[in-house]
Amino acid sequence: MYPYYEPEWSVLPPELNRRFNPAFNMATIKQAINEAVERVRMPTPMRLRDLIRQIRAARTAAEERSVVNKECAYIRSTFREEDSVWRCRNIAKLLYIHMLGYPAHFGQLECLKLIASPRFTDKRIGYLGAMLLLDERQDVHLLITNCLKNDLNSTTQFVVGLALCTLGAIASPEMARDLAAEVERLMKSPNAYIRKKAALCAFRIIKRVPDLMEIFLPATRSLLSEKNHGVLITGVTLITEMCENSPDTLSHFKKIVPNLVRILKNLILAGYSPEHDVSGVSDPFLQVKILKLLRVLGKNDAEASEAMNDILAQVATNTETSKNVGNSILYETVLSIMDIKSESGLRVLAINILGRFLLNNDKNIRYVALNTLLKTVHIDTSAVQRHRSTILECLKDPDVSIRRRAMELSFALVNAQNIRTMMKELLTFLEKSEPEFKAPCSSSIVLAAERFAPNKRWHLDTLLKVLVAAGNYLRDDVISSTIQLISETTSQQAYITLQLWHALAEDSMDKQPLIQVSVWAIGEYGDLLLTATIDDAHDVEKPTEEDIIEVYQRLLWSPQNTPTTKQFALMSLTKLSTRFSHTNNKIQQIISSFCSSLHIELQQRGVEFSQLFGKYGHLRGALLERMPPMEVVRQGNEVQANGDMDESEDKTSDTSPQHISTSESTFLVDLLGGGSNSDLDIIKPSSVPSQPISNSNNQDLLDLLGGIDLSPSVPTTDSGLGFIMENNNGSLTLDNNQTSNFLTGDILNTNIINEKNVPTLTAFEKNGLKLVFSLERLPESNNTVSIHLTATNSTLSNMTDFLFQAAVPKAFQLQMLSPSGTVIVPNGQITQVLRITNPNKGVLRMRIRLSYMVDGALVQEQTEVNNFPTHIWD
Amino acid sequence: MMQFMLLFSRQGKLRLQKWYVAHPDKLKKKITRELITTILARKPKMCSFLEWRDLKIVYKRYASLYFCCAIEQDDNELLTLEVIHRYVELLDKYFGSVCELDIIFNFEKAYFILDELLLGGEIQETSKKNVLKAIAAQDLLQEEETPQGFFEDHGLG
């Protein structure tokens, strides 16, 4: 046996002799040959940078896709063949492809193989791939847990670092449990590079599994005595997380407040240190973290707060504010001052810092200031009030997010003292703002006006301005609450109606809410419009009847107006027929033209109202009586859909005829004899159908009323027909009830009803349409039942033009309110309320007819519902 | 805690994505798409923050690249701008006046640098020097185990 080489063979000294190379042994040669063979067998894969170049060169998306698909197919094949030589490069390419949005999950296992490789390059790419490609799939996670466990024990700090970094990014609860002990060990490592990474890993583990906190507690405390900023900042982060997690730990760490104060003080006072300096500020990252931890520790703790007051003041006054970095520290300081039990002087200082922020050129800082003020405004309103003008300035900021914040903050600052000035600014803002602001802004204005309005006229003026400024972006509740306010404020009705008329006449944008409110008011108080005094009119010109009719004509014919608006207008126009003197023919003509309207609701109204001009002309005046002022109590359920207002009008009209036929002059005189009710309006029947409102009318009234003094504030009614009795307080009506029992029925009866829960019943179910009735006895009557109908669509297509019709035997009275809609989306529903009065307590039967369109086909159904529970009438 | 960081170009191409929370791939794509569109639609005079779901989005544009971070409600958005800036400085130092192409062709390096600056969504090192030292040492480790010549093709190339 000869040795592999003999020194005599070469004249060269051993270190220059290639054959002398101790690494050049059989094993290496074998490996090199194997690899060379393998490379010959398989072509060298494309390099990463070549792939990127190819992809970037692709001119179309399809071309890019084909390059990627080809490469993916190739990469898959190398994975199948267990090619370990090029695995690293292939995974790197796959990660690039993954970033472009292509699927790359097939590389997950290969990443694990790379991690298991002894080469650092492989590990580096392997861990990168694991962080990017792995989701929380159990099977792979078990494998990676083992790899991580190995590498956490590696002697190379960078391998440990890679493992910690990966654990910090993708720790699942299971991994956290399995590896917590390893991480805890590494937190005590002498190597700062590993210590800081282990601390953040512990932070993530606690975030995933808070129960694991206990084991890290002992090692955590010592992190604060470090000099190394990396370890310090990660330690502070870890402690913050622990304190936020458990109150026990929070009290355990209270004692570190002096340490933190000392570290922070050193940072501020220490001279320039190039390593941690950011534009003249010493380690802002660490400062902010410490300030945040101080906030957590000082919250609701007077003692701890006391200990940090000084340092917070110092940071607040000493920090350089010309750059973003200084302001980021100030911002954190302000948050801490606001959250802990700090001195009042310090709080003022904090608010003033925010005030200064508002004047800063940097929009980011202004935004942050507004945001923070918004959070603190409820704690310290007066301090924020001082910056009101600056905040209002921000309403004009070019940045939309700043404007939004400024708007919210402005509304938080509105109070009884500043409402006039604030509203002026906010209304200007509303007028100029983007559509997305209009709904919330107008609703907030309405709320604020309701709370702080100095007087009724101002309140009405504000609502009017909102109607004009917000256009069609108004929420429905604003319409109803405005109408309610007008109705309630009897003294301002003439004024506001005139203003609304003016706004309506000038409106060229078809603002539906404005039109609806205006026509409602004109319909109700149209007579006041013509007789408005100079005081009411201000500088607004009084319209003539013809002017008004002309505008109505425009409204009703305009295709821009919604059917709901037209319904408002039609109702209003009909009412005007009893308030105007010489335009009745024109009104009648307009209304009758709707008898042939294509819209069924409008047509119905057209036909019904036309009847009031013909056969039932004698009922008209009484029917179209002005509505009694709406009670404020109703505010709670004011939020209703647009059309519902008509409903309430209908209801009043419904009951009116009953009044008419029963009221008798003797009865009235009786009433008046004992009455001191000045709200009472009594009108003598007149032979002329629509008598012009004039003094003579009032004269008649006075005659009738004899000695009773009608105060001028009593709203005059224009109706010339029938005896009508309207009052505000229900008690009087109840008195009537004794004599006019059969008319008002028991509707107004206030008998106590033993409330019963009546079950629901399914009235109809076919072809995916289901109708459910839920019955409810109305509290104010013992023989009226309200049926809440819910129609549900369980098909996959829309049901449109849904129409529900019902008929009951003659002994019953049926009243149907309008449905919540006519379209039922899949899985959606619409509701409708029916009221059935059953004076004779008979057995209720109902015949119903349904029609709707589905997929373009008309469906009609008819059925009878006989299974109403009888006990509902008991 | 930072929830994720995205780097994307003015054309809306994703250049880097780092997720510190576990989301299914589909959701990640949806979030990315949504944020890229939202941010690209914003005008330059708008502020760098936006509220998105229950997160705060902080973004800043450097040349043709947008750096976008999602942070939680109690995080400091002004400081997050500093974190972004620190990352840009590190890239700049490492590549030597960095440009978008550097990040495209050496995306893995950009990830490595980010992983030495942040861990689990929190800052782990506030010294620029330390980050660059760690990266240089690891690069050296890689070079040492990849001999020249015979194994030249072995690296990432």
Residue (of A258, A259, A281) closest to A271 by Cα position: A281
Percent of chain A whose predicted confidence (pLDDT) is above 90? 26
Which residue of B lies nearest to A104 if distances are taken between CA atoms? B25
Mean pLDDT of A314-327: 89
ipTM entry: 0.94
- Asked if A338 contacts A375 with a C-beta cutoff of 8 angstroms, the reply is yes
* Residue at token pair 């008319």: A743
| Among A177-191, A819-833, B37-51, the least confident range | A819-833
| Closest partner CB to A193 (pick from B18, B29, B134) | B134
**Least-confidence region, from A339-343, A630-634, A812-816, B7-11:** A630-634
The Cβ-side half-sphere exposure at A202, using a 13 Å CA radius, reads 34
- The per-residue pLDDT for A504 is 86
Nearest to A450 by CA among A435, A434, A466: A466
pLDDT digits (tens, 9 = 90+) for A766-798: 888 888 888 877 766 667 788 888 888 888 788
For residue B156, name the pLDDT band (cuts at 50, 70, 90): low
Give the count of Cβ contacts less than 8 A between chain A and B: 180
Distance from CA of A129 to the nearest CA of B (A): 10
CB contact under 8 A, A368 and B142: no
Residues in chain B: 157
> What sections of B9-127 are H helices per DSSP?
25-41, 77-95, 100-105, 107-117
Per-residue model confidence (pLDDT) at position B67 = 96
The answer, yes or no, to whether residue A654 has pLDDT greater than 80, is no
CB contact under 8 A, A197 and B119: yes
In the structure encoding, which two tokens stand for residue A98, read together? 């993954």
Per-residue pLDDT, averaged over A653-670, amounts to: 38
Alpha-carbon span A346 to A334, nearest angstrom: 9
As a dihedral over the C-alpha atoms of residue A223, residue A229, residue A231, residue A237, rounded to 10 degrees, the angle is 80
pLDDT above 90 covers a percentage of chain B that reads: 77
Question: What one-letter code names the amino acid at A418?
Answer: N
Alpha helices in A740-823 (DSSP H): 741-744
CB B19 within 8 A of CB B28: yes
Residue A740: is its pLDDT beyond 90?
no
Q: B105 and A52 in contact by Cβ < 8 A? A: yes
> How far is Cα A412 from Cα A754, in angstroms, rounded to an integer?
45
Mean pLDDT, all residues of chain A: 79
Alpha helices in A613-772 (DSSP H): 617-623, 644-662, 665-674, 695-705, 730-739, 741-744
3-state helix, strand, coil in chain A (%, to 5): 60, 10, 30
pLDDT tens, position by position, A392-407 = 988 988 888 888 889 9
- Interchain proximity A230–B49, CB inside 8 Å: no
A244-262 average pLDDT score: 92
pLDDT in tens, A352-373: 999 899 888 888 999 999 988 9
**Pair of tokens at residue A82:** 């267990």
pLDDT for residue B89: 95
Q: Is the pLDDT of residue A314 over 60?
A: yes
Which residues, at least 6 apart from A267, have a Cβ–Cβ distance to it below 8 Å?
A: A282, A283, A286, A287, A290
pLDDT band at A640 (very low <50, low <70, confident <90, very high): very low
Q: How confident is the model at residue A736 (pLDDT cuts 50, 70, 90)?
A: very low
Q: Cα separation of A771 and A849, whole Å?
A: 12
When scoring B3, B79, B112 by the number of chain A Cβ atoms within 10 A, the one with the most, hence best to mutate, is B79
Query: A829 forms bridges with which residues in the sheet?
Result: A792
Order of strands across the sheet that contains B14-19 = B14-19, B2-9, B65-71, B55-62, B49-52
Q: How far is CA A703 from the centre of its chain?
A: 59
Distance from CA of B32 to the nearest CA of A (A): 10
Is A744 within 8 Å of A784 (Cβ atoms)?
Answer: no
The reported pLDDT for the residue numbered A560 is 86
Long-range own/partner contacts, residues A15-20 (CB < 8 A, 24 or more apart): none
Indicate the residue of A105, A125, A233 with minimum beta-carbon distance to B108. A125
A823: left (phi over 0), alpha (psi -120 to 50) or beta: beta
CA A485 to chain centroid: 27
Tell me which chain A residues have a C-beta less than 8 angstroms from the C-beta of B153: 44, 47
Rounded to a whole number of angstroms, the distance from the CA of A119 to the nearest CA of chain B is 7
Cα A396 → chain centroid: 23
More confident call, A335 vs A660: A335
Chain A CA closest to residue B25: A135
Q: Is the pTM of this model over 0.80?
A: no
Cβ within 8 Å, pair B123-A233: yes
**Distance in Å, alpha carbon of A115 to nearest chain B alpha carbon:** 14
Sign for the CA dihedral angle at A165, A328, A395, A399 comes to negative
pLDDT at A863 over 50: yes
Is the CB of residue A506 less than 8 Å from the CB of residue A513?
no
Using one digit for the tens of pLDDT, what is the confidence trace for A91-142? 999 999 999 999 888 888 899 999 999 999 999 999 999 999 887 666 777 8
10 Å Cβ neighbour count for A139?
8
Report, in angstroms and rounded to the nearest whole number, the Rg of chain A calculated over CA atoms. 41
| Dist CA A833 CA A407 (whole Å) | 39
Among candidates A95, A124, A367 on the partner chain, residue whose Cβ is nearest the Cβ of B138: A124
Q: How many CB atoms lie within 10 A of CB A26?
A: 8
Measured at the CA of A770, the angle between CA A766 and CA A773, to 5 degrees, comes to 130
How many Cβ atoms are within 10 Å of A43's Cβ, its own excluded? 8
Chain A: nearest CA to B95, how far in angstroms? 16
pLDDT of residue A242: 94
Of A802, A784, A790, the closest CA to residue A761 belongs to A790
pLDDT tens per residue, range B92-117: 999 998 999 999 999 999 999 999 99
Determine the distance from the C-alpha atom of residue B90 to the mean position of all C-alpha atoms in its chain, rounded to a whole number.
Answer: 11
Interface probe for A, chosen from B78, B80, B106 (most Cβ of A below 10 Å), is B78
Look at residues B4, B76, B131, B15 and name the one whose alpha carbon lies nearest to residue A170: B4
CA distance B74 to B146: 46
DSSP secondary structure of A451-500: HH-SSHHHHHHHHHHHHHHHGGG--HHHHHHHHHHHHH-GGGHHHHHHHH
